[in-house]
Amino acid sequence: MRHITPRQAICMTLWKTPFTFAKTMPESPHEWTQKKDWYSAQVFEEVVRYIRKYGVKEKFNGKTYVYFYGNNYKYWTLGNPIKKTTIINRVAVENKNNI
């Protein structure tokens, strides 16, 4: 039996999750998913914790965000407390720390 790492589990969860194109921000094309659409708020929060723990800090428009790379995407939240975080964003990237 093959062991699945926590990173692989998070990437699989994010891969299976539906994301919506952010049509109100054409100047910054990306997609988002919201907590209320997830099958479990607990799983959503676990994914947010993982993104924040294992992501890397990068600046965008003068603000620092924590980005997690996987599945040819980078994922991020807006940095609110875990219980108040309702959105995970993503944007496609090429060959950056994929599973």
**40, part of any domain:** yes
Number of domains present in the structure of the chain: 1
Burial of 36 (0-12, 13-18, 19+ CB in 10 A): exposed
Give the residue numbers spanning the domain of 18: 6-92
**97, part of any domain:** no
Kindly tell me if the per-residue pLDDT of 57 is higher than 80.
yes
Which tens digits make up the pLDDT trace of 24-38?
877 888 999 999 999
Kindly tell me if the per-residue pLDDT of 65 is higher than 80.
yes
Tell me the mean pLDDT in the region 41-68. Answer: 96
The token duo for 58 is 């990068």
**99, part of any domain:** no
Q: Who wins on pLDDT, 96 or 13?
A: 13
